[in-house]
Structure 1
């Protein structure tokens, strides 16, 4: 009888020890920490008692994640290419806005430059806004100034419109409506200071269906900037491919303060009829030895952005 009791006690002890081991196992989660007393899901059995199937393998990055990684790699290569060029070239900045993808890129985007004649695109936008505010189209007299201002870069026409609109104060208020936060208007309009980031913002406002310019104003801006004189058809248009249209406003000037060196700027858009390409581009530069070398520089910079960003 004594032996029987000892045997029962031994069996009971084994059950208690074994149960404790199972409880101890159940309180360890997949990371090795303590849980709530249940087996990890990877070790649990189904209602039918069968062993669990293996967890599905990861599906890999999403298409969006792959696209983001590709764009980051492209931007990194473009950074390297522009830095290499900058080591031997006059100072420049560039910004890109791809309307199709919403992606932006800028190199030295907040550096400030004299606008020279690219400010005329701002003056045009302000003229169109003023007309809208008055509930009318631009008058024939206003358009007789706007056309040569954009197509021929006529300085006298620009001065007349600049004063007609209210001068520095009025253009500054207009720029605020357009979201230009890094542009400082000068009474001598060609010495207005701006950045490529602001110029790309301006270009986007000229086409934004939800922006301040209505459809007629956007059409007018496109028509004028798409039909500049052949002698001024350089800069951004140099990167347009077959079947694409380009808009542009260029600026060029020399200043005695810069030792007679040239400021060469180009802003505009490249767009295809199927909207597969819809990109705003701004390249600003100064301290160029000549107008010709400055044009070559801004076109090279623009071409590098297209090559590396693949738009």
Structure 2
């Protein structure tokens, strides 16, 4: 993703506020989960208050800064507590930021990619999805059903079919695996996938985009954590998976939210958590930090 710059006056207070939020999440290695709706609004209010430019701000504080660097500063308190990568894009202002460029296990977020591949194939054949394909797709996205995902991977031609679709979708850092949860991907690629799902400039047709978005807006209530903490009207897919080699968990979340009057795409990938529940708090905190950075940039003019 391109590096973006904005005015420091709009972001200097923001970084301090997010550092406080992150430090609170990471203190002692304990992460809190099951936040009430008031938690997200309180955090947003704190960031909004802290990021308001001071009336006494001088010209020396108006230098332009790199949003990637601002995001890195905001996430620094988690550096020793989690292995995480995040990418964010404000689709209206164009502000974007990224932290971490490594590859991660996709876990169940790959199911969005798999459905996109199926929809591309159906478009190529000028047909609608059949009943079985729709059943697999809906169970796979709404309930994160693994058996349906395995069957649908066969339909699209296995990992070779998924890799071929990803070339068309512009995913340059994603490599499919036969054991689909082990597909390797990057947060930047996941934002590109979200752009394909959400934007008009896409190889996916309007009907395909609408179908994918509909399903991602209907995931079961107990799976609506993650990037949903960063805004409203969330359309998302989460992934979580224990690694047999380490016993530690991958916890990922990708999706679209509304924040600051804008539509924002967010992808958070993480690994090395003791449990799934232990990973949810950091993922949500990182998502909120990333969206706060682009909110400040979009509002700074």
Check whether TM > 0.5. Answer: yes
Matches within 5 A, 1:31-42: none
Rounded Cα–Cα distance in structure 2 between residues aligned with 1:174 and 1:66: 35
Q: Which residue of 1 aligns with 2:238?
A: 250
Give per-residue Cα distances to partners, 1:56-76, cap 9 Å, x unaligned. xxxxxxxxx976985754724
2:185 to 191, 194, 212: 194
Match of 2:92 in 1: 100
By how many angstroms is 1:178 displaced? 0.3
Please name the residue that 2:108 is paired with.
117
Equivalent residue for 1:60?
Answer: none
Kindly indicate whether the alpha-carbon contact (under 8 Å) linking 2:88 and 2:294 is maintained by their aligned counterparts in 1. no
Deviation at 1:221, TM superposition (A): 0.7
Residue 268 in 1 paired to residue 255 in 2?
A: yes
Task: Name which structure has the greater RCO, CA cutoff 8 Å, separation 6+.
Answer: 2
Match of 2:264 in 1: 279
Q: In the aligned structure 2, how far is the partner of 1:86 from the partner of 1:131?
A: 43
User: Which stretch shifts more, 129-138 or 195-204?
Assistant: 129-138
In the alignment, structure 1 segments of 5+ residues that lack a partner are: 1-64
Alignment of 1:182-261 (within 5 A): 182-240=173-231, 244-257=232-245, 259-261=246-248
Q: Deviations over 1:103-147 (max 9, x none)?
A: 221001x21000010000000101111111111221122111100
Distance 2:269 2:181 in 1: 14
- Aligned residues: CA RMSD: 1.9
Q: Within 2, Cα distance between the matches of 1:140 and 1:279?
A: 33
Cα distance per residue 1:84-115 (max 9 Å; x no partner)? 2213x12001000111012221001x210000
Partner of 1:289: 274
Partner of 1:14: none
Match of 1:30 in 2: none
- Are 2:144 and 1:153 aligned? yes
Q: Which runs of 4 or more aligned residues in structure 1 lie more than 6 Å from their structure 2 counterparts after TM superposition?
A: none
Determine the C-alpha separation between the residues in 1 that align with 2:294 and 2:163.
Answer: 33
Structure 2 unmatched runs, 5+: 12-63, 297-301
Paired residues, what number? Answer: 239
CA distance in 2, matches of 1:138, 1:68: 49
Structure 1 CA distance, aligned partners of 2:157 and 2:90? 33
My pick for the range that moved more, 134-143 or 221-230, is 134-143
Q: Normalized against structure 2, the TM-score is what?
A: 0.75
TM-score, normalised by the number of residues in structure 1: 0.73
